[in-house]
Chains A and B, each alone.
Chain A
Amino acid sequence: MTTREAIAVHTLADEALDQAIIAQHAADPVDLTALSALYREGAQRARDRAAARFALTHAWVLALEAGDARSIAELERELRACGGLAPPRS
């Protein structure tokens, strides 16, 4: 993780969560599902809506990469709820 990413993450949540995210990024191989869950937790603890959208976006991309269909659906609902994605077309 770059310094900027680490700073961005720090705006989300507490130091322990930051360190867990950094450690998971550095793992080889990266556990995509676990990392997605950490970002999702960071979104839940985010101090504002913009920070939550940012963290949810990362959680969503990682879930897509992991092929985690259930998490993808849940994260997309949460993103729509906070304006990160448009409502689905009817």
Chain B
Amino acid sequence: MLTVTRLQEQLRPVRRAVESAAGLPNVLYNDPAGFELEKQQIFHRTWACIGVANDVPEPGDAKPIDFLGMPLLLVRDHDGALRLFQNVCRHRGMILIDAPRKLKGVIRCPYHSWCYNLNGSLRATPHVGGPGINEHCDVPADQLGLLEVRMGVFLDAVFADVSGHAAPFEEFIAPLKARWSEFADQPLYHGGQESRFTLDIASNWKLAVENYCESYHLPWVHPGLNSYSRLEDHYNIFAPDDAAHAPGDFSGQGTLVYAPQFEGEAPMPNFGGLSDVWDRSAEYIALFPNVLFGVHRDHVYSIRLEPVSHGRTREHIEIYYTTPEAATSDERASTRRKNAALWKDIFIEDIGVVEGMQQGRGALGFDGGKFSPVMDAPTHRFHAWVAAQLS
């Protein structure tokens, strides 16, 4: 059972240096109260990933998002701008849109037909003053627009601050944007339906992050990588010290031997203007709390972690390429399929250990674990970040 006092005691050793730190306590993995606390203190308090801009590619596209119980609506307005609102009518609190759809005009509430422009302003209040009387002095339309939610986009991932009080998105994303400055403003082209998939994992969302940001497990869980990306070819990645434990913090791992080869397939085109270091390097970073990125000279992917419950997470994977031809042509379809299949196989290989750690959190005596200062430092960085948000 979670108590605030006990939790604070348990978080203190997490925030020690990695050499002497313990991991996060079991209550944050197997207790609904821990999940609820993280919802309040992390997901609804700072920037978190809630979707991708590719979810609404065309003007008029609208997609409802359930963000840990907060109903959101991602919209591409008729001018092509991306907007994020609370998906609720200002009248009686009805959900406005319950499934992805294309809007030709306004958003019409299905309850009493209040209508909203796609910029959120209230356009019509039919019969509000009686049958056929469509205005009322006590229902000021200019004060009843949709509640807009602060939003930012990075590598097509859409971030939301539902609290309205987080530091500006530009500050949040600055550390990762600086590290990946050569990718940050590159045009990305989604590879289509074959380049997106979802995995349903019977584990807490944090375990997916913990596993992703370290290379220690690669030789055992992904033996297929041993032939071309050995453990010694990997290195740890951390956000700069001044971002440690703050919103915008990240950790991960990189490889010095990215060398994609699909039999019978020509190489995919590279992003323009990359420095030589990316000829053979690739990096895999977890941007806390809930999005995992992979950048390569010829493609980028994101894995958005959707926490469903304390013991269940959905991973939403999206793969992007460097040119429209690479992303959509029939000629490159085979390569896209093989690349998506490769990543899907790798991410599926992780499921067993991630779900196994979830099961292990049922062990009453497990104290959160012990970190290798060399191999587990990125994982500890994440644990310490979570502990800081909950302290």
Q: A: which residues have CB within 8 A of B? A: 32, 50, 52-54, 56-58, 60-61, 63-68, 79, 82-86
Contact = CB atoms under 8 A, between A and B. Distances in A.
A56 B17 CA distance: 70
B126 A65 contact: no
Contacts of B133: 53, 83-84
A57 B126 CA distance: 6
Interface of B: 78, 103-106, 108, 113, 115, 123-124, 126-127, 131-135
Contacts of A58: 126
B2 to A, nearest CB: 47
Given A60-B124, A60-B126, 14 more contacts: A50-B132, A53-B131, A57-B132, A60-B134, A61-B115, A61-B126, A63-B105, A64-B105, A65-B105, A65-B106, A67-B106, A82-B132, A84-B133, A86-B135
Nearest to B115: A64
Contacts of A83: 132-133
Contact of A67 (B104, B124, B126): B104
- Chain B interface, >50% SS class: loop
B134 A84 contact: yes
A56 B103 CA distance: 22
Contact of A66 (B104, B126, B134, B135): B104
A64 B124 contact: yes
A61 B126 CA distance: 7
A26 B132 CA distance: 23
14 contacts: A32-B104, A60-B126, A61-B115, A61-B124, A64-B106, A64-B115, A64-B124, A65-B105, A66-B104, A67-B103, A79-B134, A83-B133, A84-B133, A84-B134
Nearest to A68: B105
A58 B126 CA distance: 8
B127 A57 contact: yes
Contacts of A32: 104-105
A50 B131 contact: yes
B366 to A, nearest CB: 54
B131 A54 contact: yes
